[in-house]
Structure formats: structure tokens, C-alpha cells
Structure 1
């Protein structure tokens, strides 16, 4: 039994112990859609299955340290990822919606990590963050077209946990993670979509969580 199956069985047993609504409860605590958590419970080989990677395991350990903090080991960040000659940004085993609901397309994560010169990251973020603070995440849906296309990878600073000026953020308003613009319009902070015709702006709910700020978009266009 490999580590992913061990994690899947442990998560399944824990969710079963929570009873009705357990999947939604766990999803809310770790900042993922309930449908995503359900797919983490799929048996190996079932289409749409999501493995429980290191980032997800760390999120589970933070949310439920008594269940996942020590019983299932979390792999440390390799020493090569903390070297001073580059900054490695890993892809998070998650997805963020860009719309009111999920779309059916399941875009593959073709980029698993990206390496940057520290000077470049400093010019973008203002400093060189510690390993693991910057993450890659894939956007889904159509609400941020044309600024962000479905399937594009975004670099998010997870150290930003609140409104930090107008920009694009990773937020959770209660329906899973979403990529949205936040704008200060004087009377309130508004959640704004680039595709405003289909997704009107609305005030940021008081219960909403800010999980990070988007700094870079990785776009790969086919030319031939």
C-alpha cells in the first residue's frame, strides 16, 4: 500500500466518523470544494480521482492536528528547494473556481513547479518569501476571462490573509476557493469578475476568507 492509499483510507475513516455532512465540514476547514474532497476518497483507478498530496496533507494536519498531525507523516521540504540560488514554487493539489459553479473540463496540471531567480521574486512580491509560501494553483471557470483563462496556472502568495489593496485574490466565500478581483469602492470591498456581464460585482461577505493574493499568471499559447 503506497502513501497515497494510506492517506485516502485515513481520511475516509475520519470523514465517516464525522457522520452526515462530514465531507463538507472537512472541505470547509481545508479550503477546498466538497466535490474535490469527495474525489480524494475515490478508489484508485476511478476517473476523476485526486491524490492527497503533500500540500493537502499539510492542510489536513493544520485543521485536524490530533488526527493528521502525527499519524501520517508530512514530507519535509527538500533542501534543494530552500537553496539561495532560486525560489521554487510548487503546484498545490487543488483548484480554484472562476465562476459560480464548477465546469466539467478537468484540465491537467501540466506544470508541477517553477523555479525563479530570487531577484525576480523580490521585484514582484517585494521580498523573498520562505519555502512553501508561494504556490501555483489552477483556475477553473469563465468569470475572469479574458484576464485569466481556464486552466492557467497562477502564482499565489498565501501569506496575504486579508485585503491588501486592489488586486486579484484567492478567496473563499463559502462555496470553495475562487479567483476573484477585490476592489475598494469606498462603501465596501467588492468581489469583482472580469466577465462582469455574467457575474455582477457584490460586497465581500463578512464571513469570507482571503487565502492569498495572485501575483503572476502563467500563460502558454500554442503558435503552431
Structure 2
């Protein structure tokens, strides 16, 4: 059984007799997204980010979705909910034992990072000066279209991470609660120029899953992914606005629009 089949079965067992809509709301998912994962007619799978988020919300051990109990069963048991006896570092050691090509130094750094109680991974870059409060922000291979729409990847891959200073971001006026809520994605197209140019990296807050006021959002609409300004048009509609005058505004239904993140900063120092 592959990892996604295991996750699906454990997700079904976790939901049990609960209302799927209530579960989706609690987990910060669009109900349609959850339905696609549970459906046998679609190829939508439970990705790493969503699995880890659900585990955290449900207070399950990290990696609970990826494991089968000792007797081979999928259903949750008391040992799952009470926490794994293994430490995070022990679990990482087991995982790394199956990975080829890593140097011993790289393995040691990964294990040390897993053993940290903090969310910040400290790294010795062998250069003069103090690293200070710098942290790593994951850069995902996700392209939000500033034009006709991009079909979202089922499994976003990480590109080269970006090292930033949360203190410096706040001094620039970027508002966020925790640095691990921040991710990097890429703008694609010309419709948001000059604010966002083609292939500009964008800093987004992935905890914003609803419209929270006028701004630029990463959102899906009619199964495509967009980066556009959203404003309230009326009770049932948003107005999807492009900064490029050549692209006119469009009226889209709220119940067909699923916010994935809010854009906080264009990586050309344009605050939005």
C-alpha cells in the first residue's frame, strides 16, 4: 500500500462519523478539497503540508498519517494518540537509514535539527558574523497565474529555500504571527504588473484561508490557481482585479473561490 492510500484510509478513520464539512473547516481546508481526497473518482491525494497541519490540529504525533500500526491495521489506536515513544530524532534516523547519497555531516545536521524543540533550524554557514534571527522560508514550486490561471500541482515541490530575518520583515511592515506560517511561491504572467512581474518570488501567509479584507491573494477558482487582488463586489461575489490596465476586472462567485494564502511581499521589495 503506497503512502497516499495509507493516508486516505487513516483520514477516513479519523473522520469517522463526523460531518466532513465540519472537519474541513477545523482543518482549514475547502470542503471540496476534502471531498476530492476522499473520493474514489479523483486522483487528489493528501499532501505533506495538509497531513502535518491536520496532525497538529488533532494533536496527533507528527507522521501519524504515514504509519501503519504494528498489527498492520490503519485505524488509530491509543498508542497513536498518546504519542510515539520514539523521539523526532530517532524517527529521522530511521528515515535517513533508507536514504542514499547523504554525507555523514549532512545526516548529523538533519538529525540535530529534528532534535531541536524550536521551529528554527540553526545552521553553521562557516562565514564570519552572527546569523542572528534569520530563519529558512520554504520556496515551493507553485505558480500562481497573474493571467489566465494555472492548474495547481497536487504535490508542490520545494525549490531553493530563502533565508530571511523575521525582525527585518516586520520592520518593513510585513505583518504575520509566526515565521513558519510564511512560504514562497512564484508569480506567473503579466496581469499584475507593475506590482508583480512575471516570475517574481512572493512571500505569502498560508494561514490566511479566507478573505480578510482587500488585498492580493493566492486562490483557486474553477480549478485554476490565481494571484490577484480581491474585493467584495456584493453578498455573493468577489471582484477579481488585475493591476495591469490591459486586464479588466472580473466578477467571481465567493462559493467557488478558495483562498490558499495572502500575498504579503513581492521579493522585489514591493510591499502589498
TM range (shorter): 0.5 to 0.7
Q: Distance in 2 between matches of 1:190 and 1:97?
A: 16
The residue number in structure 2 matching 1:210 is 259
Contact 2:209 2:258 in 1 (8 A): yes
- Higher relative CO (Cα under 8 Å, sequence separation at least 6) belongs to 1
The residue number in structure 1 matching 2:83 is none
Shift of 1:134: 0.3
Q: 1:102 to 1:161 in 2, by over 3 A?
A: closer
Q: CA deviation digits over 1:167-189, x for unaligned, max 9? A: 11111123232111112457753
The yes-or-no answer on 1:121 pairing with 2:112 is no
Within the candidate set 113, 122, 135, 2:183 is matched to: 135
Instruction: Give the 3-state SS of the residue equivalent to 1:136 in structure 2.
Output: strand
Instruction: Give the 3-state SS of the residue equivalent to 1:165 in structure 2.
Output: coil
Q: CA deviation digits over 1:147-202, x for unaligned, max 9? A: 21221110001122222222111111232321111124577531111234334322
Aligned-residue Cα RMSD (Å) equals: 4.2
Contact 2:144 2:150 in 1 (8 A): no
Q: Map 1:67-216 to 2 at 5 A.
A: 69-71=64-66, 79=116, 82=120, 85-102=133-150, 112-123=160-171, 124-127=173-176, 129-184=177-232, 189-216=238-265
Which structure has the larger Rg? 2
Q: Distance in 2 between matches of 1:143 and 1:207?
A: 21
Q: 1:205 to 1:186 in 2, by over 3 A?
A: closer
Q: 1:94 to 1:59 in 2, by over 3 A?
A: farther
Count of aligned positions: 176
Scaled by the length of structure 1, what TM-score is found?
0.59
Scaled by the length of structure 2, what TM-score is found?
0.50
Q: Which runs of 5 or more residues in structure 1 are unaligned?
A: 1-5, 31-55, 104-108
Instruction: Give the 3-state SS of the residue equivalent to 2:254 in structure 1.
Output: coil
